[in-house]
Structure 1
Amino acid sequence: MKSTLITLGFVFSLFSFLPLIRTPLWWIRVLDFPRLHVAVLLSAVIIAYVAIFGVEGAAETAMVAFWVLGVLNEVRYIYNFTRVAKVEALRTEQATPRNAFTLMISNVRMVNRKYDKFLQLVLKEDPDMLVMNEPDEAWHENVRHELEKHYPYTIKKPLDNTYGMLLWSKLKLHESKIRYLVEDGIPSFHTVVELPSGKKFDLFTVHPQPPRLMKNTETREAELLLVAKELKKTKYPSVVAGDLNDVAWSKTTKLFKEISGTIDPRVGRGFYNTYSALVPLFRYPLDHVFYDPAFRLVSLRRLEKFGSDHFPIAITLNYEPQHEEAQEHPVAGQEDRQEANELIQEGLEKGEERNMEKLEDKKPAQ
């Protein structure tokens, strides 16, 4: 029993400290995700060890202190997403927001075929805009007839590689583009949205690759940071939405916010975990909305599941540029900008390498 607790204590501590290494290696970056889980499990090990065996001598004291540091290291990442922390995104003070819109984001999971249940949820929520991640052509065909009745403006790129994307909008879309920023086959959208008042904002939708077996995260970092840099150059205030395949507290997400100057409505409000809808004990915030301080928050809600492994999320924002200065937002320093440029360069090189590999795979056998 004692040796088991000691082993678990050191393993969970390793899980806590390994992500401090700045590397795109997938087996390290996946440890960014379970910060809360590691903190809880390591705390349980500490309590059990001290309660059963006590702490005697300098060696045991140092060991338990090391475990406690492991817990504190995890807590410092997730603290901002508890209600104890200061709220980052301020709520609107307008009783009747005049430039409000609702955006719904949903990773539908390509192999999920519960089209009707999804449509029921969308029609019930009736958002002004809907972003769908992972739709293939079957998803497109099964939802388009109903959604086209309600959403006259669309951008469509269904794909069978789990990186398809569909955007449906009641609001006018201008200058819409489908881009492949880093890897062929992984699209992102950019469009200018016009509110009924005539005010406009830029909308970026993304869905980069996650860290997974033998797939490091260079391209994910590059795609997110390319979008972050683009936000600083746009004519209008910006909103970024989608399945980012990264948790809200990771170094990459923090750097994205600093480079883009956007804010996160989760800070000070809660995790709003969207993945996995299928495994209650292992849930993380992977579907995000980041936005310019020119917007104020009206509401943020995690919606009911419909068969996907992701929960949908809905956010209502109000365009209030007159109050922009009252809302604090991250600011990038020179070191942050240099790091972002290095990560973008590494990601573009890796993306080109993967693109070449795909071309080789498509060549007919000689």
Structure 2
Amino acid sequence: MQLTFLIITVILTLLTVLPILRLEAWWIRGLDFPRLQLFLIILITLALELLLLDLSLPFNWGLVTVLWLCLIYQAWWIAPYTFLFPVEVKTARAPDRKKSIKIITANVLMPNRNAAGFLELVRENEPDILVTLESDSWWEAQLDSLETDYPYTIKCPLDNLYGMHVYSKFPMINCQTEYLVEPDKPSMHALIILPSGHKVRMHFLHPAPPSPTENEESSERDAELVIVAKSVADSDVPVIVTGDLNDVAWSETTRLFRKISGLFDPRVGRGMFNTFHADYWYLRWPLDHLFHSRHFTLQHLERLPSFGSDHFALYTELVFEHGRNDEQNGLDVESDDKAWARKKAVSQNVSKSDVPQPEKHLV
């Protein structure tokens, strides 16, 4: 029994320690994802060791201590996405329809054919902006019916799982579709005009994940997140970034994005809102995101019901409340973060100048 627990403890320790290394290999970066699952497995193993091992032996106490440290470390990463942590984004005080913006971010899964179920979801929730990922020409044809209510659109149908569409009730100007890092992975950029007249800079992203079937390293994904973060950090207008980032909310690279950009995560202190995988309750993590500048507070955040995709859609309603800027604090950026971000951008030969700045082209 002692040998069994030794082997399990060594394996769980390796799975905990390896992501600390800033290596970009897919199989190491993939360990950023299941921190909640690892936390629960470590917790169960620790309980079994305390129950079944002879704790009069120092060696067994060593096993317990190592697992206890692993448990604390995993908890440190996921705790901000529980109700035990203070919220990062304040709740809106007095919702003002002219200053609010409702967004649905949905990876529809290209082979999924339940367009009727998805359209029903959209009509029930009535977002102001709908962004779809993995939408190809077939999906575009199904979504055409929305254009009566959503007259402003950006379309990029692709059959490589990286098509993207944006539908908006609000005017969108200076719209651009760009391929920031990889030649077949688009991103979209626009300036949205709220009914109040306030202009919001928006970026819609879907970088490829590190995986044996996509990119063997996370460098492409990380570089795209970094250059967008650097670009929006210089913006004087409100900013929203949303999409399927193929990275979990608690990873070092997502934290780096938040530090460099200065954007806020409304999930913090409210829950994980795991959007993937819709079919397996025991393998879920937050892959679809919405980050925003300090100009906004939160009215509502919800993971919507399944519609046949492997992702759940994410619904977010923000309210422009500029006067509450000082009430909200995000992550602080340090010199080491800036150096790491610079290294990631250089590795892919990209820079923040590659990212469209739609507010710069106002007439």
What's 2:56 paired with? 56
Is the contact between residue 296 and residue 320 of structure 2 (CA under 8 Å) also seen in structure 1?
Answer: yes
Report if the CA contact (8 A) 2:100-2:317 is conserved: yes
- Give the secondary-structure state (helix, strand or coil) at the position aligned to 2:248: coil
Report the equivalent of 1:327.
328
| Contact 2:95–2:319 (Cα < 8 Å) also in 1 | no
- Structure 1 match to 2:360: none
Determine the structure 1 residue equivalent to 2:187: 188
Partner of 2:262: 261
Corresponding position of 1:355: none
Per-residue CA shift, 1:152-182, capped at 9, x if unaligned? 0000101111111000000000100101110
| Structure 1 alignment gaps of length 5 or more | 350-366
Which residue in the other structure is 1:273 paired with? 274
Counterpart position of 1:69:
69
Count how many residue pairs are aligned between Structure 1 and Structure 2. 348
TM-score, L = length of structure 1 = 0.92
Equivalent positions of 1:139-158 (< 5 A) are: 139-144=139-144, 146-158=145-157
Is the contact between residue 92 and residue 297 of structure 2 (CA under 8 Å) also seen in structure 1? Answer: yes
Query: How much has 1:95 moved relative to structure 2?
Result: 4.9
1:128 aligns with: 128
8 Å contact 1:178–1:190 — kept in the other structure?
yes
The residue number in structure 2 matching 1:362 is none
- Equivalent pair of 1:220/1:347 in contact (CA under 8 Å): no
Q: How far has the Cα of 1:2 moved from its partner?
A: 4.1
**1:135–1:165 CA contact under 8 A, matched in 2:** yes
Query: Structure 2 length as normaliser, TM-score?
Result: 0.93
Deviates more, 1:185-194 or 1:41-50: 41-50
Q: After TM superposition, what 4+ stretches of structure 1 lie above 6 angstroms from structure 2?
A: none
Letter in 2 for 1:20: I
Q: Secondary structure at the match of 1:348?
A: coil
Rounded to whole Å, the distance in 2 between the matches of 1:6 and 1:348 is 45
Q: Distance in 1 between matches of 2:7 and 2:242?
A: 41
Deviation track 1:313-359 (CA, whole Å, cap 9, x = no partner) reads 1000011122212221233222211111111111338xxxxxxxxxx
Matched, 1:11 2:14: no
1:176 equivalenced with 2:175 (yes/no): yes
Give, in angstroms, the shift of residue 96 of structure 1.
4.2
| Cα contact 2:108–2:309 (8 A) shared by 1 | yes
Of stretches 77-86 and 8-17 in structure 1, the one that deviates more from structure 2 is 8-17
Is this contact kept in 1: 2:263–2:330, CA < 8 A? yes
* Amino acid in structure 1 at the alignment position of 2:153: T
Alignment of 1:1-366 (within 5 A): 1-144=1-144, 146-213=145-212, 215-348=216-349
Q: CA–CA distance in 1 between the matches of 2:98 and 2:146?
A: 25
Question: What is the aligned-residue RMSD (CA, Å)?
Answer: 1.3
What code does the residue aligned with 2:196 have?
S
Task: Name the SS of the counterpart of 2:192 in structure 1.
Answer: strand
What's the CA shift for 1:137? 1.0
Residue by residue, what CA displacement relative to the aligned partner does 1:240-277 show, whole Å, maximum 9, x if unpaired? 00001111111001110010000100100100000000
Q: Partners of 1:250 and 1:296 in 2: how far apart? A: 24
Answer with 260-269 or 227-236: which moved more.
227-236
Unaligned 5+ runs, structure 2: 351-363
Please say if residues 237 and 294 of structure 1, whose CA atoms lie closer than 8 Å, have aligned partners that are also in contact: yes
Where does residue 360 of structure 1 map in the other structure?
Answer: none
Opposite residue 273 of structure 2, the aligned amino acid is: Y
Distance in 1, matches of 2:95 and 2:190, equals: 29
Tell me how far 1:58 sits from its aligned partner. Answer: 2.2
Query: Percent identity at matched positions?
Result: 37
Whether the aligned pair in 2 keeps the contact of 1:10 and 1:67 (CA below 8 Å) is no
